[in-house]
Amino acid sequence: MVVSIARLTKKNRQAALIHTLEANPFITDEDLAKKFEVSIQTIRLDRMELGIPELRERMKTMAEKTFDHIKSLRLDEVIGDVIDLELDHYGISILEIKEDQVFEKTKIARGHYIFAQANSLAVALINEEIALTAKADIRFLRPVYLHERLIAKAKVIQSNHEFSEIEVKTAVGSETVFKGTFMIYRSKELRESKNN
């Protein structure tokens, strides 16, 4: 007989909550409430008792830790919250679509925000003080709507002293909504001209 997750004792539910958040720190209280078949208020109380901050605070803390490593951009130049990054290897950012980022009539996100999240993540991966997008091959796979959370994952495909090719896939939940390949220019000459 399968026991419903809602029948978990408080102690077992809180242990499962910790495990779930370790596996996916970006899950919302709403999604946790559905998963555990309890109210959102119960999830919030569990988090408070366990000393686990709300999603926005968890993201902010991870972004602050990660941003210290970024060389090519300032914090206000990155679109979305960079929550994981290894220079010249991979990165992850999250962007929740807000009212000022959508078309008023349809509530569909303006494409330049989706592109900017992916592009700024690709540039942030570069282990140089100056990095520029030389070329981008992009594809929007479906519209993105107000309040949807975009998770962009970037990885370096190949790199040399002058260029890095970076693949970015952006998803809402498990559905990919955007794909892009970015050629990022990284040049010793740029670094030298900046110093002169």
Domains and CATH numbers, the chain: 5-52 (1.10.10.10), 58-195 (3.10.129.10)
Is residue 44 scored above 50 in pLDDT? yes
Residue-wise pLDDT tens digits, 59-108: 666 666 655 567 777 767 889 988 888 899 999 999 999 999 999 999 99
Residue whose C-alpha is closest to residue 142's, from 100, 172, 107: 172
Contact 122, 114 (CB under 8 A): no
Helix (H, G, I), strand (E, B) or coil at 178: strand
What does pTM read for this prediction? 0.70
Find, among 76, 70, 74, 75, the residue nearest to 88 by Cα: 70
CA distance 191 to 21: 41
pLDDT of residue 66: 57
150 HSE (CA, 13 A, CB side): 34
pLDDT classification of 5: cutoffs 50, 70, 90: low
Please check whether residue 126 is in contact with residue 91, taking contact to mean a CB–CB distance below 8 angstroms: no
DSSP-derived secondary structure letter, 130: -
Category of 116 on φ-ψ map: left (φ > 0), alpha (ψ -120 to 50) or beta: alpha
Task: Examine the pLDDT at 157 and tell me if it is beyond 70.
Answer: yes
Give the C-alpha separation, 99 to 110, whole Å.
11
Kindly state the average pLDDT of the residues 161-167. Answer: 94
Token output for 192 = 């030298």
Report the pLDDT value the prediction gives residue 30, as an integer from 0 to 100: 87
Q: What is the pLDDT of residue 1?
A: 32
Does the structure show a pLDDT above 70 at 154? yes
**Range of lowest pLDDT (33-37, 110-114, 179-183):** 33-37
CB atoms within 10 A of CB 30: 11
Q: What is the pLDDT of residues 109-139, one digit of tens each?
A: 999 999 999 999 999 999 888 899 999 999 9
CA distance 13 to 18: 9
Cβ–Cβ < 8 Å for 173, 150: no
